[in-house]
Amino acid sequence: MLSRGLRSVGEIGARCFASSSRDSSIKYEFRPADERDKGKIMDVALNHFIYTEPHSVALGITKDTGKDLIDWIVSKSLHYPFCYTINHKESGKTVGFRLMSVEHKDESKDFEPFLLDFDKCGDAEQIFTGIHTDMENEIWKLRPEAEKMLHREITLVLPEHQRQGIAKYLLHLGLDFELLKAEGYDGLRSEASSTANQRLLAKNGYQMLMESLRKTYTFKNGQPVNFPDDTKAMQLYYLPL
């Protein structure tokens, strides 16, 4: 979900799995998102994502301590045309989103929305971003031929709207894999924290390349990080185009 060091922080296409036994488009509208949607996405992320994402919960990140980090991720993702909001047709509410960005082996080509000094972040935020940094550094070693790739930053569906087939419908929505390949994209990278997301990616062709080490989950005071569910590690997944 983040960018290299974070400074120093997938309906189209041969492999689009939008079709499902549960047609999510009946109840929900999937709208391409841009900078005009930042406010609503920030609101959902700060009030729901931070308090449901397993690593964020385990680390005790809050809307106040995580605001700058979330702002950085949202702003970066909305710079690119691969993001969506999920809107419940009956209520008109935004009930989720997909944020996706572009990353390059030459990090000078990456879009950085604003300078964020992660060395000044709290212990929890540094652990969180450190895991993502390690995984981004590793992906370029594992895919040495790659020059750029798509990155699934954050996908969120509010709990009361889950089990409707939304996550699967949204996985590759709007992505033309053949066109992306022709434009020089090597594949799609995704870190997966929840076991549900890990299963979704594995079932849809993504390869699990690595997972975070247990020793990573220790606060500076020596206390271990304890997860609220059956999450054991962050896993790095990749889908070659």
Check if the beta carbon of residue 156 is closer than 8 Å to that of residue 45: yes
Whether this prediction's pTM lies above 0.85 is answered by: yes
Based on its alpha-carbon atoms, the radius of gyration of the chain, rounded to whole angstroms, reads 17
Q: What is the pLDDT of residue 116?
A: 84
Q: Which amino acid is at 87?
A: N
Distance CA 150, CA 186 (A): 8
Q: What is the pLDDT of residue 22?
A: 64
Strand order from edge to edge, sheet including 235-240 = 28-32, 84-88, 94-104, 148-157, 185-192, 235-240, 207-211
Residue 89: band (very low, low, confident or very high) from pLDDT cuts 50, 70, 90: very high
Q: What is the pLDDT of residue 25?
A: 80
CATH code of the domain made up of 4-240: 3.40.630.30
Residue 23 has pLDDT above 80, yes or no: no
% of the chain at pLDDT higher than 90: 76
Q: Which of 170, 173, 184 is nearest to 241 (CA)?
A: 184
Q: Which of 16, 25, 3, 1 is nearest to 173 (CA)?
A: 16
Average pLDDT of the residues in 138-159: 96
